[in-house]
Amino acid sequence: MNRPVVMRYLVLLCLVQMVEHAAAQQSFDRQTINIGNLGFSVTNVGTIGRPDRVNDPGGPPSMEYPINSGIEHLFEGGLWIGALVDGQTAVSTAAVDAPTGYRAGSAGFEFSSEVGKFIRQRSTLPYSDFFSLDAVSHQDMVMEFTDAYTIIPGTSIPISEHLLPLGASVHLEAYAWNYSFADYFVVLNYTITNASNKPWDSVWVGMWTDLVVRNVFVATDNGTAFFSHGGGGYLDSLTAVYAWDVDGDPGYTNSYGASQFLGILWRDQFLHPVNAQQVVASGYPAPQVHANFWNFRKFDGSQFGAPADDVQRYQKLRKGLDFTDPTLVAQLQSPSNRIQLLSAGPIVQVLPGESFMYVAAMVCARQLQGGVDDAQSRSELLEHLGWSRRTFLGEDANENGSLDEGEDLIANGKLDRFILPEPPASPRVRVVASDRSITLYWDAGAEASVDPISKRLDFEGYRIYRSNIGDDIKNISSLQLIAQWDKPGNSVGYNNGFEVIRLDEPVWFEGDTTAYRYRFDLNGLLNGWQYVVVVTAFDEGDARLGLSPLESSFTVNTFRVWPGSSSAENGGIGVYPNPYRQSAAWDGPSAQSRKIWFYNLPPQCEITIFTLSGEVVAVLQHDSQYRGEDIRWFEQFGGNVQQRVFSGGEHAWDLLTTSRQAVTQGVYLFSVRDLQTGKVHQGQFVILR
pLDDT tens, position by position, 552-601: 998 899 999 999 999 876 668 999 999 998 777 778 777 788 999 999 99
**Nearest residue to 595 via CA among 608, 605, 585:** 585
For residues 372-398, average pLDDT: 95
pLDDT tens for each residue of 80-135:
999 999 999 999 999 999 999 999 999 999 999 988 899 999 999 988 999 999 99
Amino acid letter for position 637 = F
Per DSSP bridges, beta strands 596-599 and 71-85 are unpaired
pLDDT of residue 20 exceeding 60: no
The answer for residues whose C-beta is within 8 angstroms of residue 395's C-beta and 6 or more apart is 403, 407, 408, 409, 410, 415, 416, 417, 419
pLDDT level of residue 536 (50, 70, 90 thresholds):
very high
**Nearest residue to 380 via CA among 65, 2, 98:** 65
3-state secondary structure of 651: strand
pLDDT of residue 12: 41
pLDDT of residue 23: 40
Are 683 and 598 in contact, with CB atoms under 8 Å apart? no
pLDDT of residue 3: 37
pLDDT of residue 682: 95
For residues 280-295, average pLDDT: 97
Are 307 and 313 in contact, with CB atoms under 8 Å apart? yes
Percent of the chain with pLDDT over 90: 81
Per DSSP bridges, beta strands 558-562 and 644-646 are parallel
- Does 574-688 match 429-562 at the fold level? yes
For residues 195-199, average pLDDT: 97
pLDDT of residue 569: 62
pLDDT of residue 17 exceeding 70: no
pLDDT of residue 647 exceeding 90: yes
pLDDT of residue 583: 72
Helices and strands in the chain, H and E counts: 7, 35
* 537: phi then psi, degrees, rounded to nearest 5: -115, 150
At CA 618, angle to CA 617 and CA 623, rounded to 5? Answer: 155
Fold of the 429-562 domain: Immunoglobulin-like (2.60.40)
Alpha helices in 228-378 (DSSP H): 276-281, 310-318, 326-333
Per DSSP bridges, beta strands 680-688 and 580-581 are parallel
What residues are paired with 241 via a beta bridge?
234, 259
At CA 394, angle to CA 391 and CA 397, rounded to 5? Answer: 115
Distance (Å) of CA 304 to CA 234, 321, 334? 15, 9, 13
Are 647 and 624 in contact, with CB atoms under 8 Å apart? no
Task: Compute, in degrees rounded to 10, the torsion defined by CA atoms 465, 467, 472, 475.
Answer: -80
Are 672 and 680 in contact, with CB atoms under 8 Å apart? yes
In which element (H, E) is residue 688 found?
Answer: strand 680-688
Fill in the DSSP letter of residue 467.
P
pLDDT tens for each residue of 344-382:
999 999 999 999 999 999 999 999 987 789 999 999 999
pLDDT level of residue 25 (50, 70, 90 thresholds):
very low
- Edge-to-edge, what's the strand order for the sheet holding 666-674? 580-581, 680-688, 666-674, 604-611, 616-623
pTM reported for the whole predicted model: 0.86
3-state secondary structure of 643: helix
The answer for residues whose C-beta is within 8 angstroms of residue 60's C-beta and 6 or more apart is 30, 32, 39, 41, 50, 53
Q: Is 105 exposed, middle or buried (0-12, 13-18, 19+ CB in 10 A)?
A: middle
Are 260 and 361 in contact, with CB atoms under 8 Å apart? yes
pLDDT of residue 275 exceeding 80: yes
For residues 618-632, average pLDDT: 94
Peptide bond into 352 cis (omega under 30): no
CA separation for the pair 164, 175 (Å, rounded): 31
3-state secondary structure of 617: strand
Higher-confidence residue of 544 and 496: namely: 496
CA separation for the pair 440, 522 (Å, rounded): 8
Amino acid letter for position 398 = N
CA separation for the pair 232, 225 (Å, rounded): 17
The answer to which of 58-62, 186-190, 379-383, 451-455 has the lowest mean pLDDT is 451-455
pLDDT of residue 453 exceeding 80: no
Fill in the DSSP letter of residue 27.
H
pLDDT of residue 2 exceeding 90: no
The answer for residues whose C-beta is within 8 angstroms of residue 50's C-beta and 6 or more apart is 30, 41, 59, 60, 61, 62, 76
Q: What DSSP string describes 368-435? A: SSTT--STTTTHHHHHHHHHHHHHHHTT-TTSSSS--TT--TT-SSS---S-----PPPPPEEEEEET
In which element (H, E) is residue 170 found?
Answer: strand 168-176
pLDDT of residue 282: 96
CA separation for the pair 496, 498 (Å, rounded): 7
The answer for residues whose C-beta is within 8 angstroms of residue 379's C-beta and 6 or more apart is 368
Distance (Å) of CA 455 to CA 33, 133, 326, 409? 30, 20, 50, 11
The answer to which of 4-8, 144-148, 476-480, 502-506 has the lowest mean pLDDT is 4-8
What residues are paired with 208 via a beta bridge?
78, 341
3-state secondary structure of 274: helix
CA separation for the pair 648, 623 (Å, rounded): 7
Domain 574-688 sits in CATH at 2.60.40.1930
Higher-confidence residue of 37 and 10: namely: 37
What residues are paired with 186 via a beta bridge?
362
Are 433 and 563 in contact, with CB atoms under 8 Å apart? yes
pLDDT of residue 415 exceeding 70: yes
pLDDT level of residue 543 (50, 70, 90 thresholds):
confident
Are 117 and 45 in contact, with CB atoms under 8 Å apart? no
Average pLDDT, the chain: 92
CA separation for the pair 136, 493 (Å, rounded): 32
**Nearest residue to 106 via CA among 144, 55, 155, 158:** 158
pLDDT of residue 459: 96
pLDDT of residue 190 exceeding 70: yes
For residues 378-390, average pLDDT: 96
CA separation for the pair 298, 304 (Å, rounded): 8
Q: Is 186 exposed, middle or buried (0-12, 13-18, 19+ CB in 10 A)?
A: buried
Percent of the chain with pLDDT over 70: 95
pLDDT of residue 367: 94
In which element (H, E) is residue 14 found?
Answer: helix 3-27
> Domain-by-domain residue ranges, the chain?
23-392, 429-562, 574-688
Beta strands in 470-599 (DSSP E): 480-486, 502-507, 516-523, 531-539, 558-562, 574-576, 580-581, 596-599
